[in-house]
Each structure stands twice: as structure tokens, then as C-alpha cells.
Structure 1
Amino acid sequence: MFLELIGTVFAGFAFAGVVMVLNKLTGGRLPKWAAPVAAGVGMIAMTISSEYSWYDRTRGQLPDGLAIVEEIESRAIYRPWTYAVPFVDRFAAIDTVSVRTNESVPDQRLVDLYFFGRWAPVSKLPIAVNCAENSRANLVDGAEFATDGSLTNATWFKAETGDPIIEATCGV
């Protein structure tokens, strides 16, 4: 976040500097407001560029085995250009390398679901997936494992056909 702020300030100085050089080359014919306006345009352009490139940069730095299962696009009234071209500011991924199974319950798998946000720390949610019943459960709300490996006190959610979390987990 701090580096993006520094980059935005430098973009403003660079745009204003280009206008001042152009003003010098044209013999001072540009209006006095051109340099501050150019600085503002440069800072806005840098901010927009940073917003749109965050997802690609973050996705490119993910380790092998993390499969993206959902992308959340952002639209806001104070950023009218996002209605024409929305950008991804949050996404979820599962760690396909760490999918765990138990021989006692072969249709059930445990996996870690990670949530990434533009200005938020990465958070992790362990979930259980039942491949045969096309359902899943969060493992943070009092869920426990019985001695036979089955899940007790878990709230199972029946998923729609083609649920990306279940497909990525059960396809492993």
C-alpha cells in the first residue's frame, strides 16, 4: 500500500514535469493550470492502473497448487469507469496440494480455502467437502471429528451443480 502511494506521487510529479518541459519548449504558451491538472491526471491514471493490475500480479505470485475458485469484481459509483470494465478486488483459492482424505469416509475431503483481498490480509478457512453428496461444511463453527473420522456438529450446505470449490476439491 505504501509503495503504491509513493508510485502515485511520483506519477503526479512525472506528468507535471512533462507539462513543464513542454511549456518551456513552447515558450510559456501553456496555461498555468496545465501542470497541476497533469499531476492530478497522472495520479488518477496510476491509481486506476494499480487497481486493474493487482489481481494479475497477485495471481502470478501464487504458488503451484492454489486453484482460484471464485473472483469478485468491483463496481462503484465513485469509480464510474468500473461499470464499463469492472476489476477483480477479491478472490478465493483452494490449496489442491493439501487436500486430505480419510479411508473411513472416502467421499469426504478436507481442504483449506484462502481469501485474498486488495487491501486485506489473506485469511484461511478449513472446509469439508462431501463429493458424493455435492455438499460442503465450514470447520470453524463447532465441527468435530468422531473416532471413525466422520464429521459431527457440522452444518452441511448443499451446493449447486458445478460448484467450483467442490469441483476443484473432488477433481484432485
Structure 2
Amino acid sequence: MLFEFIATLSLGAGAAGLVLLLQKFTRGALPRFAMPAAAGLAMFAFTIWSEYSWAARSMAALGPDAVVARAIEQKQVWRPWTYLAPVTTRLIALDGAKTKDFDGTVVTDMYLLSRWQDGAVVPVALDCLLNRRADLFAGHGEDIKVTLQSADWLAVGADDPVLRAACDTLRSD
């Protein structure tokens, strides 16, 4: 967040500097409001770009094997442009590189990402046959079959987006 704030201020100062340079070359032909307007527009445009590109940049940072299971989009009153195109504020992604399939149960890492907050990694097991999920906080170490038998399973619907992503995209048939 601090880096984006610094980048926004730097971009505004750079835009103001360009207008100042243009003022010098045109001998003051530009209106007086051109410098603050250019700085404000540059910072505003960067902020909007940063908001809308956050999800794609976050997924790129996870690597090419990561799969978006669910993207939560929001419209917010203090950002009126989100009423035209909602902005993604949270993501649930699954790690395709760490996926293992055990007779219809997919074991992988689930990434919980949220704009302006630290992300979390939760090892999960998703049972594609019985439509259920277990968070493997104890880990999925040496004997995964014992871990799966003693796991605390939570029933989810067959149309759950995380279950569907794991079973349809990550599962090796």
C-alpha cells in the first residue's frame, strides 16, 4: 500500500514536471490550471489502473499454475466508476502446482487474497465425489490418507466455485 501511495505521488509530480517543461517551451501559452490538472488526472488514472489490475497482478505473482476459484467483485459508493465496472476486491485461488489427487479427493493449497490486506494460504482437501471440503491446518504431511480420514469435513454444494475449480480444472482423470 505504501509503495502504491509513493508511486501515485511520484506520477503526479512527474506529470506536473512535464507540464512545467511544456510551459517553458510554449512560453506560458498553457493555462495556469494545466499543471495541477495534469498531476491530478495522472494520479487518478494510476489509481483506477491499480485497482482494476490488482487481481491480474496477484494471480501472475502466484505463478502460471494458479487457478482462480472465485473472484469477489464490488461496487463502492466512494469509487463511482465501480458502478460501470465492478472492481475485484478479493480472490480465492488454488495452486495447481501443489495439487495431488487421491481417488477423487483433490489436496492442494488455497490462497485467500484481499486487496489492501495480507493473503493467507490454507491447505485444503476437496472431495469431488461427496461434495465436501476439509481445511488441513494440521498439514498434509507423510500419511495423507490418515490425515484425510481424520479431517473435519464440511459439506459444500455441488456448485461451490472452489470445489468446481478443484474438481473440473485441477483433478487428473
1:134 partnered with 2:131: yes
Q: Retained in 1: the 8 A contact 2:59–2:66? A: no
* Structure 1 length-normalised TM: 0.77
Write 1 or 2 for the structure with the bigger share of strand: 1
1:66 partnered with 2:48: no
Q: Retained in 1: the 8 A contact 2:93–2:110? A: yes
Aligned residue for 1:67, secondary structure, equals: strand
Q: Retained in 1: the 8 A contact 2:125–2:148? A: no
CA RMSD, 1 decimal: 2.9
Specify the alignment match of 1:113 in structure 2: 110
Write 1 or 2 for the structure with the bigger share of helix: 2
Q: Retained in 2: the 8 A contact 1:69–1:92? A: yes
For 2:22 and 2:70, locate their aligned partners in 1 and report how far apart those are by CA, in whole Å: 47
Q: Point out where structure 2 has 5 or more consecutive residues left out of the alignment.
A: none
CA pair 129-15 structure 1, distance change in 2 beyond 3 A: same
Query: What is the percent sequence identity of the aligned residues?
Result: 34
Q: State the aligned residue count.
A: 165
The one-letter code sitting in structure 2 at the alignment partner of 1:165 is V
For 1:34 and 1:150, locate their aligned partners in 2 and report how far apart those are by CA, in whole Å: 64
Q: Point out where structure 1 has 5 or more consecutive residues left out of the alignment.
A: none
The one-letter code sitting in structure 2 at the alignment partner of 1:10 is S
Shift of 1:83: 0.9
CA pair 11-97 structure 1, distance change in 2 beyond 3 A: closer
Task: Tell me the alpha carbon deviations over residues 63-103 of structure 1, each in whole angstroms, 9 at most, x when there is no partner.
Answer: 2332111111232111100110122232111123323455x
* Structure 2 length-normalised TM: 0.76
For 1:112 and 1:138, locate their aligned partners in 2 and report how far apart those are by CA, in whole Å: 10
Structure with greater Cα Rg:
1
After TM superposition, where is structure 1 displaced by more than 4 Å over at least 4 residues in a row?
145-150
Shift of 1:26: 4.5
Specify the alignment match of 1:57 in structure 2: 57
Aligned residue for 1:121, secondary structure, equals: coil
1:166 partnered with 2:166: no
